[in-house]
Structure 1
Amino acid sequence: MPGIDHHQGLFWMSFTERFLQLRKQHSLTQQQMADTVGIHITQVKRYESGEAQPSLEVLKKVAVAFNVSTDWLVFEENEREPQDELKLKFEAVVQMDEDERRSVLALLDAMILKHQTKRFFVPSSESKQQP
């Protein structure tokens, strides 16, 4: 897919590519995308062709409609400061289908539980009995 740096995954894409990606991921026609976001189909076509960039109001509508951040829509990864790797990964999880999201969240919950259990139940060196 043009615009993707495979070392950076989905986060090396322009607004145009991300906008198109959202539409295709949700299997929407351009008209359905326009209706979902609340804009005219002509604007959808202009955004997808790179002829126009959205206003802040439209960015917010897209972000809310598809549960993504405006940062994800606008910024290339190297433009985001400070770079927050976990936030970027969670934004990628948001793009997954429901079953994939559940799997990722279950794995994350298990790892958090493992960490908490290890932290609270592993004896410290002070509590070990001395011979």
Structure 2
Amino acid sequence: MASLHIEFDAMSFSARLISLRKNRGLTQQGLADATGIHVQQVKRYEAGSSEPSAEALRKIARTFAISTDWLLFEDGERAPSDDLALQFEAVQQLSDEERAVVKEVVESLIIKYQTRRWDSLRTADTSTAAHRRTSTRSR
């Protein structure tokens, strides 16, 4: 599988699917038969004109015995940056209680970020709505 990761770096989903299918010696009809996905849908996925549903991704991943993450993301795309990866490795050395504290702190920071983001979106929506009311009144 490691050689597949090297070969498939920086590819779109459609390119990955085509290469994976050909690498396994399957035709589009063969992939359709193996996954239970209609051949026309397989053709749309490969053409890039359609995105697979979660269920279709599961079928493809099961057929090829790969993860859905591998189908969708490039190597390292979902991994933490190098500095965070080193810190997370260091956290593994901590006791269960200390790891629980680290997890709570990280979760708190994420919630704080999401709340701030949500508030800024809500504020932007409110100011946009107020601007529309003002525009409508001045007409």
1:67-82 alignment runs, 5 A limit: 67-82=65-80
Q: 1:83 to 1:46 in 2, by over 3 A?
A: farther
Deviation at 1:21, TM superposition (A): 1.0
CA distance in 1, matches of 2:63, 2:42: 14
CA distance in 2, matches of 1:48, 1:39: 13
Q: Is residue 47 from structure 1 mapped to residue 20 from structure 2 by the alignment?
A: no
Give the CA RMSD over aligned residues: 1.9
CA distance in 2, matches of 1:69, 1:23: 15
1:33-62 Cα distance to aligned partner (Å, 9 max, x none):
101111100001101100011011111111
What residue identity is the alignment partner of 1:76? E
Determine helix, strand or coil for the equivalent of 1:79: coil
Long gaps (5+) in structure 1? 1-7, 85-131
Aligned twin of 2:8: 10
Q: Which ranges of 4 or more aligned residues in structure 1 deviate by more than 6 Å?
A: none
Determine if contact 1:37/1:61 at 8 Å carries over to the other structure: yes
Determine if contact 1:30/1:45 at 8 Å carries over to the other structure: yes
Structure having the higher Rg: 2
Q: 1:41 to 1:83 in 2, by over 3 A?
A: farther
Q: Is residue 57 from structure 1 mapped to residue 55 from structure 2 by the alignment?
A: yes
Aligned residues: 77
Deviation at 1:77, TM superposition (A): 2.9
What residue identity is the alignment partner of 1:67? A
Deviation at 1:79, TM superposition (A): 2.5
Higher relative CO (Cα under 8 Å, sequence separation at least 6) belongs to 1
Determine if contact 1:30/1:41 at 8 Å carries over to the other structure: yes
Determine if contact 1:77/1:83 at 8 Å carries over to the other structure: no
1:7-49 Cα distance to aligned partner (Å, 9 max, x none):
x642211110111111101111111110111110000110110
Aligned twin of 1:26: 24
CA distance in 1, matches of 2:81, 2:64: 23
Long gaps (5+) in structure 2? 1-5, 83-139
CA distance in 1, matches of 2:81, 2:35: 29
